[in-house]
Each structure stands twice: as C-alpha cells, then as structure tokens.
A and B are shown apart, each in its own frame.
Chain A
Amino acid sequence: MQALINRDDMESIQGFIESLSRARENGFSEMEQLKKSGKKVVGTYCLFAPYEVIAASGALPVSLCGMKEEPIAQAEKHLPRNLCPLIKSSYGYAITGTCPYFFYSDLVVGETTCDGKKKMFEYLGKITPVHVMRLPDSNNREEDYVNWRKEIWYLKERIEKDFGIDITEEKLRDAIRGKNEERRVFREFYELSKLDPPPLSGLEVFRVLFSSGYAFDKRKQIETIRDLISAVKNAYAKNDLRTQPGRPRILVTGCPIGGATEKVLRIIEESGGTIVCFENCGGTRDREELVEEQGDPYEALARKYLNIACSCMSPNDNRITMLSRLIDEYRADGVIDVVLQACHTYNVETYRIKEFVRQQKHIPYMAVETDYSQGDDGQMRTRIRAFMEILEPRNT
C-alpha cells in the first residue's frame, strides 16, 4: 500500500496492481501488529455481514480465507464431497489453522445464506465464537426488512457484549459515511472499464477490487485508489493502453470468485475477451447501492443489505434489474455466468439469466460450472474460446 504511483508510467501502475494482488498475504503482518495494539477482529465470509456495525465498534472487519483448494481435503473429513468448494475451503482453512485472519478473529459472523453454510457454521461454532445472522430469503415484503433490521441489531448487541463496548449511533453514522466513501471510490475505479477499450484488463481490475477486504487503514486505502484512478486516466489520455481494442467486452456474473477461480478470468482474457464488468460479490454487488445516511441507521443498513442481488433471495428480481443496467452501461457483448459446483441457487438461476440475457438484451450468454481444482482447464478453454468465436464476428 505504501507504493506511490508515478502518474505517467504504466509500468508503475502494473507494479502497483501486482502489489495490491498480494494484499491478502501482506495484510497478515499488519493485522498481527494491530492485534498486539489491542484491536479486536471480526471475521466475515459474505457481503451480507454489515461491515458498518463491525467498524463502528472499533473492531477490524476482515474477509476470511475460503478461495483455495488446499484445505478442501481436510474439510471433507467432516463435510460431504458434493458441497460447494467455497464452504469446504472456508471450513478447511478454519480447522487446519491455515488462515491467519481466522486465527486473529475474536468473533466470526456468518449468515444463513444457503443450507450448506448454515450447517457448516454449526461445526465452526465448536471451534471459535460464531454469530449467525438469520438472513430472510426474500426482500419483497415489508417484514423481511423488519426482520433483517432486528438481526443487525442482534449483531450490534453481540459485539457490544463480547467486546465490552458501546456502539453509539454517532459512531455508526461515521462508519456508514466511511464505507459509502469507500464504495464510491471503488465504483469510480471499476467504472473506468466503461471506456472502449478499457484501460486495464479485467483480471487487473478484479485484483484491485479483491484487495479491498485486506486494507485496514481505510483512509489510506481510499487515497491510494484515488491515486491509481488518476494514474490510469493520465496514461489512457496518452493512449498508453494495457488492453487491445476490438475485443469482445465480457460481463462476468454469478458466484463469488477469486483465488483458485481466477483461472476463469485468465482463460476468458487469454481466449480473446476483455472483462469489463463483474456483477458478483467482489465487483458491483455491494458497491452500486449506498447506505442512506439520513434517518434510522439500522433501517438504512437493513434496506441496503437486503437488496443485495444474491441468488439466495427468492425471487431475485434485483439481479435482473442490475444486470440489465450494467449490460447497457458497460456495453457488454456477451455474458459469462460463473457458477461453483453444487451452488444450487446460482445454478438454478442460470436458466432465468440465460433467457433474460438472450431474449431481452439480445446478446450471447454462457454459464460455466467449475470448482477450485485446476483439472478442467482444457474443457474450460474450449468452451470459452467457442463463446469468443460466436462474439468475434458480431464485432466486425
């Protein structure tokens, strides 16, 4: 994070992005220092965890590990094989003690997003303090928001009790303003990809976005991303491009990705596409809608978080509305839906998304199902390249 960017030099932009790509690993020692100074740490797995409540308590919210294949074999001692790799990896990291962020967490926040996670948290609760929030599975009734507001309140009470502190309304409002600011600056960053051609590759954009969960000094983080934005803009104005013009513009949607599943992003861009938008958890999903800064902060948080367009919501009309707007704004030529094996809700939803994208937006759509292993490289390359072969003639 300390690197300053030379505004005129694309090479320094590349170096900077590479250093951000290591944010997860680099954050370990920073967190160790912060722990020593008496900071509390709250680990989270999912966007539904209300970041602002944790931040308002003075504790550090951190994304826990769950994106790599290594600990899955250990997790399968307790969990079935045909479970989504995200759940198995998260649990595997926890029981093998190989996630430093889990090790430093004083409390872990989980949500009842899906059956697999819900049941996994029961086991996780045996090895560390876990607070599970009961997430409503719909957001089209007023009581859904009332219930979710209560759950956010329970989380506040749990943190206050465990850490012996008070979360005042003032602190919460501060945290809401701070997080909104962070969302705005990251949004400004990924919106650079609306340019044609985009200034950065999709993989580079993704890595910067992915680093956001591991920056603990938020003021410094916002400053750095602002610097990066102006450096990229300057270089672009000088026609110093990092992407090739004329390539199909791909919108990636679906399950959370990162770590092992970066393979899909790599294959898309090695097969001739440029990813211009991520309608997923690491991308737009939390950042497009801000928290209302006026009125009851708990209600404002409840409204914002329950509107996250996750397939665990039924119906999940928000995802259709979001996709429709993003496809237009980013001028996507095709949509690739990345689904993790055994993630039933996203998998079932592929049919609805396919019908919508093809019939309402009139662009090609493809779903790819994958896990954390690297064994499907060949099949994935064939499918994705064939998709590009559909898109390329449409572009010329």
Chain B
Amino acid sequence: MYSAGIDIGSVATKGVLFNGSIMGSVIIPTCWSPRDASREALDRLLGKSNIGRERVHAIIVTGYGRALADFADQAITEIACHGRGAFFLNNSVRTVLDIGGQDSKAISLDEQGNVTDFVMNDKCAAGTGRFLEVMAHLLGGEVQDLDRMANGAEAQMITNMCTVFAESEVISLLAKGVSKESIARGILESIAGRAAALLVRVSVEPLIAFTGGASRSAVLKELIEQKTGVKLFVSPHAQIAGAHGAALIGWNGLVRKGLNAPAREQNAGAY
C-alpha cells in the first residue's frame, strides 16, 4: 500500500511515493498546464517505481495548481504540507522557510509538527524564485548558475525589492560596467534580506528548515544564516518537502483508517 503526494508549483511539479519512507520521487517542469503536469508527475512517479496505480490508496495534491488535479483524493495547502514534510525530514524542526517559484513563506511548528502560525510574501514576485529566475536570465544564466557567479564576489547591492524595478536596476548596473558576479551576489543578498524579514515576523526558533527550489543555493543559505544568526537545515529532499508532506498526510490518513483502506480499483477509471 502506498500514498502519493503531488506538489504542483508554478515552476516545478514534484511527486513523492510513500509507504512509511520515500519510495520514489520526481521533479518535472510545470510549464503552462498545471493540470497536465500533475498527471504526468503521477504517471512518471508510478512508472519509475514500477508500482501499479491500484496500489496507491491515497493521493494528496498541494501547491498553487492543487484545485486543478481532479484525480486527487484531497487537496491540502502547501503551508500544511511543507510543515509536515520538513518535520518528517527532521523532527527537531520548529520553523520552515520555503522559497518557491511564486511565493515564499515562513511557518512555525509545534512539537508535534502542527502549524501554529505562518506568513506569506505579498502578492508579487518580490522575494520568490521568480525574482531569481528573472535576474539570472538578465545575467545570461539560469537560477542554478547564480551560486557559481556569486561565490567569492563582492556584493553589488540591489535596492529595489520589486522584480520589475530591480530588472531596470540590474540593466543599468550592467551598463555601468559592474561585474555580473557582484550583481549575482547582490541579487542573492536581496532575497536573503527578504527571507530573513519573513522569518523574523513568524519565528526564528531552531531548527529552521529551508525548503523549496531556492534551497538548492548554498550561497543563499549562507546569507540567510548571516542575517538571522541561526543555522538553516537543508535536507537533500528539501525541494520535494511539500510533495513529501502531502504523501505523508495521505499515509497518516490510511494508517488512521487501520491500514485497510478501501481499494482504489473502482476509481482508477476516472484517472
């Protein structure tokens, strides 16, 4: 018996197959259709693990595309899923910082891993993965190249928080001949400042787990640690924490039902 969690983010769709521990995971680009991406993530997840659909007894979806996945048993917000996922990765976690493609959030957890409080960024791209993506493209690279560029460079501060204004700022800095290495570090500094402010509003109680796509940047992690004075915990599964949390919530539901949940066979046709 398995549960599956699908986290349909604005940039990437993540899937986790679970049966007490992670049995498989996928990360695919969401592109323009969150609905198609969610189905494809599930297909690939099952294909990769060679598990038949009938053996998956709970499918939980989360992320901004969660309302579109009509094959799911339940949709749960990314706040609850990231909290649950990060707590499972390390049960000392009391705070979660998640920087995803479309929003960033800080979540406070109690000793059982329940969410007690959270804040999300304002309704714009400032402080999100989208900001990093736009800036990386201006510098002729991808998000994953920012770390390499920024490493060891002197930061050129970016003063605008707004993605649109920051874009013109970066263009004028490049025109002045400022090195793209300095700008890359400045961009990461800017996101780190934003993340630290978000954390302070909720809690900086250790252990703080850093999740979401942006947690892959080691420089960003270091900068947030400098600004908050607290170490961040980044699991190798940090990017799939939301999907993992979703799978876990599904799994816990099955366990509560006594491990003999009704088979899904009769529903399989709907998928």
* A interface residues with partner B (beta carbon < 8 Å): 358, 364, 369, 375-376, 378-379, 382-383, 385-386, 389-390, 393
Contacts and interface: CB of A to CB of B under 8 A. Distances in A.
A389 B80 contact: yes
A158 B80 CA distance: 57
B64 A378 contact: yes
Given A364-B116, A376-B123, A379-B123, A389 B64 contact: no
B236 to A, nearest CB: 26
A171 to B, nearest CB: 50
Interface of B: 64, 76-80, 103, 114-118, 120, 122-123
A383 B123 contact: no
B120 A389 contact: no
8 contacts: A379-B120, A382-B64, A382-B77, A382-B120, A385-B77, A386-B115, A389-B76, A390-B117
A159 B158 CA distance: 56
A364 B115 CA distance: 10
A260 to B, nearest CB: 16
Most buried by B among A364, A376, A386, A390: A386
A386 B117 CA distance: 10
Contacts of A390: 114-117
B117 A364 contact: yes
Given A389-B77, A389-B79, A389-B80, A383 B116 contact: no
A369 B122 CA distance: 9
Given A358-B117, A386-B77, A390-B116, 11 more contacts: A364-B116, A364-B117, A379-B123, A382-B64, A386-B80, A386-B115, A386-B118, A389-B77, A389-B79, A390-B114, A393-B114
Nearest to B77: A386
A386 B79 contact: yes
A386 B81 CA distance: 10
A69 to B, nearest CB: 16
Main secondary structure of the interface of A (DSSP, over half): helix
A189 to B, nearest CB: 34
A382 B64 CA distance: 8
A390 B64 CA distance: 19
A358 B118 CA distance: 13
A360 to B, nearest CB: 16
Contacts of A375: 123
Contact of A383 (B76, B80, B120): B120
B253 to A, nearest CB: 13
A364 B79 CA distance: 15
Contacts of B123: 375-376, 379
A369 B114 CA distance: 24
Contacts of B103: 379
A382 B98 CA distance: 15
A335 B64 CA distance: 24
A358 B64 CA distance: 28
Q: Which of B79, B80, B123 neighbours the largest number of chain A CB atoms within 10 Å of its CB?
A: B123
A104 B117 CA distance: 48
Contacts of B114: 390, 393
Nearest to A271: B77
A383 B64 CA distance: 11
B249 to A, nearest CB: 10
A379 B76 CA distance: 14
Contacts of A379: 103, 120, 123
Q: Which of B77, B79, B80, B122 has the most CB of A within 10 A?
A: B77
A382 B78 contact: yes
B221 to A, nearest CB: 25
A369 B78 CA distance: 20
A3 to B, nearest CB: 37
A375 B118 CA distance: 22
Contacts of A376: 123
A378 to B, nearest CB: 7
B99 to A, nearest CB: 16
A364 B119 CA distance: 13
The 3 closest A-B pairs by CB, nearest first: A386-B79, A386-B77, A389-B80
A364 to B, nearest CB: 7
A369 B103 CA distance: 16
A379 B122 CA distance: 9
A375 B122 CA distance: 13
A390 B115 CA distance: 6
Contacts of B122: 369
Contacts of A393: 114
B72 to A, nearest CB: 15
A382 to B, nearest CB: 5
A378 B64 CA distance: 8
B66 to A, nearest CB: 9
Contacts of A364: 116-117
A376 B77 CA distance: 16
A379 B80 CA distance: 15
A362 to B, nearest CB: 11
Contact of B115 (A358, A378, A382, A389): A389
Nearest to B62: A382
A385 B115 CA distance: 12
Most chain B CB atoms below 10 A, which of A358, A375, A383, A393: A383
A376 B80 CA distance: 20
Nearest to A370: B123
Contacts of A389: 76-77, 79-80, 115
A385 B76 CA distance: 8
Contacts of B78: 382, 386
Nearest to B249: A389
Contacts of A378: 64
A351 B94 CA distance: 21
A299 B80 CA distance: 52
B25 to A, nearest CB: 23
A155 to B, nearest CB: 40
A364 B103 CA distance: 22
Contacts of A382: 64, 77-79, 120
A371 B73 CA distance: 34
A153 to B, nearest CB: 45
